[in-house]
């Protein structure tokens, strides 16, 4: 104390003599101890929102799957089987995300074409009879022991990486639409052909949307996107016209309560609507869903939102929608900030990931609410699943890394 008073007196004496400097205070002093406060170089609110969605997802996956062992199909499983698998997937995803967040964005920019090629190879391998695993008449998974890996989830991230890398390399072709779009269109069509062989129409729609979104945000002539939209509508129209399964789903979606569809292709939609209708405003209470008692198929995956609606009501569904809206908006803002700092690849990648999360969430919620036909897409960060959770975490780790590099540059450092 005496020494501190002596230094302060010395400072006043120096100021009186006209040779002093500013008051010597320590920046960022921790009032609880002698150590300086360390600036946190990442978006804490972003991680808090992700943690809230993941935490609610864990609770709802357990609630939605707790009665599945009453069905003969899952009779050998314990009540906590799906919860344990889900938590294991989250632990693996978290460890991988911690590793990914240490990798600079420049690495992903260089390796983007290779990652896209690897994803195409895996999409091809899953179609091989003794490699790909068939579930519900779809061949989409490669067994890896601790989890069944779904290459289409990797393809979503891979197309975002490749499209962002492509737009950086072909900046000079942005005004020449066909020159800019043709290589990307070939890549998307090739990936789409493999996905439709599985079949996985939902993943193909998401991948095409990510690619189009990045091209648009990258500055490709917007007027020409009417042509792309027209071609996509024609393509899906032809697919529906020549595919009895998809045509039946569309007809069931248009009139799900028709006795012809209510116990068939409209069964999931009708029971999802019943679940959400029972929830009313505040819900039936956590754990009190009736539809999850083997009435609503895939309640812990594709139709998790319906269980949320039944147990937590409008308040729960609105909260989930609000959290996803904030998350998507924040990812886009990080991307815009990166572009403003002349980090175009990082910015376009973040915005592509924002398109991915926002569009897939919209599709899943639209299906659960009866606004869109059934597509088989999970709710990001919340639905039960191994590879989907893993790739969601990896994508968010890249966003966090891009945000950390933005902050480093704004503080005068380097990314």
Q: Quote the pLDDT of residue 8.
A: 44
CB 328 within 8 A of CB 361: yes
User: What are the sequence ranges of the domains in the chain?
Assistant: 59-404
Q: Which residue has the higher pLDDT, 136 or 399?
A: 399
Q: Tell me the average pLDDT across 35-62.
A: 81
Q: Report the range out of 29-43, 160-174, 186-200, 368-382 with the highest average pLDDT.
A: 368-382
pLDDT at 370: 87
Summarised one tens digit per residue, pLDDT across range 90-127 is 999 999 999 999 999 999 999 999 999 999 999 999 98
Question: What phi and psi, each to the nearest 5 degrees, are found at residue 399?
Answer: -65, -45
Rounded mean pLDDT, 210-232 = 75
How many C-beta atoms lie closer than 10 Å to residue 27's C-beta?
A: 6
| Assigned token pair, 247 | 């045509």
pLDDT at position 228: 65
Q: What pLDDT is recorded for position 143?
A: 87
Average pLDDT of span 288-295:
90
Q: So what's the pLDDT on residue 353?
A: 97
Q: Model confidence over 254-284: pLDDT tens digits?
A: 778 878 777 777 888 899 999 999 999 999 9
DSSP string, 355-413: HHHHHHHHHHHHHHTTSS----PPPTTTSS-SHHHHHHHHHHHHHHHHHHHHHHHHTTS
Kindly indicate the confidence band of residue 172, based on its pLDDT and cuts at 50, 70 and 90.
low
């Amino acid at each position: 104390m005496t020494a501190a008073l002596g230094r302060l007196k010395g400072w006043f004496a120096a100021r009186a003599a006209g040779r002093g400097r500013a008051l010597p205070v320590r920046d960022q002093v921790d009032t609880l101890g002698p150590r300086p406060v360390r600036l946190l170089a990442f978006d804490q609110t972003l991680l808090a929102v992700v943690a809230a969605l993941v935490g609610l997802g864990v609770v709802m996956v357990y609630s939605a799957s707790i009665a599945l062992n009453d069905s003969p199909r899952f009779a050998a499983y314990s009540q906590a089987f799906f919860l344990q698998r889900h938590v294991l997937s989250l632990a693996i995803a978290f460890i991988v995300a911690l590793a990914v967040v240490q990798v600079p964005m420049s690495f992903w920019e260089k390796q983007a074409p290779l990652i896209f090629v690897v994803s195409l190879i895996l999409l091809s391998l899953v179609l091989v009879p003794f490699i790909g695993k068939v579930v519900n008449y779809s061949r989409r998974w490669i067994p890896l022991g601790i989890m069944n890996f779904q290459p289409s989830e990797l393809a979503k991230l891979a197309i975002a990486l490749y499209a962002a890398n492509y737009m950086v390399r072909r900046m000079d072709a942005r005004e020449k639409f066909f020159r800019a779009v043709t290589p990307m269109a070939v890549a998307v069509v090739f990936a789409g052909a493999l996905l439709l062989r599985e079949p996985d129409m939902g993943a193909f729609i998401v991948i095409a949307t990510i690619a189009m979104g990045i091209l648009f945000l990258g500055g490709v002539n917007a007027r020409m996107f009417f042509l792309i939209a027209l071609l996509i509508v024609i393509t899906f129209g032809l697919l529906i016209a020549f595919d009895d399964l998809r045509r039946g789903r569309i007809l069931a979606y248009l009139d799900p309560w028709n006795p012809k569809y209510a116990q068939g292709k409209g069964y999931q939609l009708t029971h999802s609507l019943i679940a959400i209708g029972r929830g009313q405003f505040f819900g039936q209470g956590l754990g009190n869903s009736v539809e999850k008692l083997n009435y609503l198929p895939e309640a812990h995956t594709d139709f998790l939102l319906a269980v949320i609606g039944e147990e937590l009501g409008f308040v729960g569904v609105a909260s989930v929608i609000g959290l996803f809206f904030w998350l998507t908006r924040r990812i886009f803002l990080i991307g815009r900030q990166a572009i403003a700092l002349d980090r175009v690849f990082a910015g376009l990648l973040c915005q592509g990931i924002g398109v991915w999360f926002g569009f897939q969430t919209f599709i899943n919620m639209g299906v659960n609410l009866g606004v869109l036909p059934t597509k088989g897409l999970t709710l990001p960060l919340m639905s039960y699943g191994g590879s989907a959770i893993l790739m969601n975490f990896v994508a968010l780790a890249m966003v966090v890394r891009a945000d950390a590099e933005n902050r480093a540059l704004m503080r005068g450092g380097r990314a």
